[in-house]
Amino acid sequence: MKRRTATAALCAALLITATTTGAAVADGPHGGRHDGPPPREAAALTGTAKLYRSARDDITFTFDAHLAAEHGDDPLRATGTFEFSHYLNGEGARAEADVDCLLTGGDVAVVSGVITDSDLPGAEGRRVGVTVHDLGRHDRLGYSWAAVGSPAEGGELPRCVSSAPFEKVRKGTGDFHVVPWQPRL
């Protein structure tokens, strides 16, 4: 009888030790538990939508741009891609760019990137910028080539430069989402 009691006590002690050790490891400074929610990214621009044009142009923008929390003080460390296309009566072009800057403030974002893939002659290797105003269901958008007519034309564009968000998103075609920048101070 003593042997059974000793074995049960030993098992209970081992179980308590394992439970408290596991909890201590999980609660430790590098463990699995945190004192609050995980840090959010410093800034982001995501989503897809089509622009409104009375002539029924098919213009689509898609964003997947992010600035990680640990790079919150340097918008030039943003990563991701964005794509855009413009077609009318079966003619037009598309392009994809790698993000090289992301600045957001409130519900406005400016993203720039270098075109890595496009069927527009002369566009690859050119930097373009886009501005998004996240207004819920009535988002607006602007782009750096608004004044020059094509992403393949004009001089070298600096990072994080675009135009005012003068275009409207076509109702029911999607939505953009801006995460406001929170630089480390």
CB 65 within 8 A of CB 102: yes
Evaluate the CA torsion angle 53, 101, 148, 131 in order and state its sign: positive
Asked whether 45 and 178 are in contact (CB, 8 A), the reply is yes
pTM comes to: 0.78
As a whole number of angstroms, the distance between CA 111 and CA 109 comes to 6
One digit per residue, the tens of pLDDT, for the chain of length 185 reads: 454 444 444 334 433 433 344 444 444 444 445 566 666 899 999 999 999 998 999 999 999 999 999 999 999 999 999 999 999 999 999 999 999 999 999 999 999 999 999 999 999 999 999 999 999 989 999 999 998 788 888 888 999 999 999 999 999 999 999 999 877 66
Nearest-angstrom CA–CA distance, 183 and 181? 6
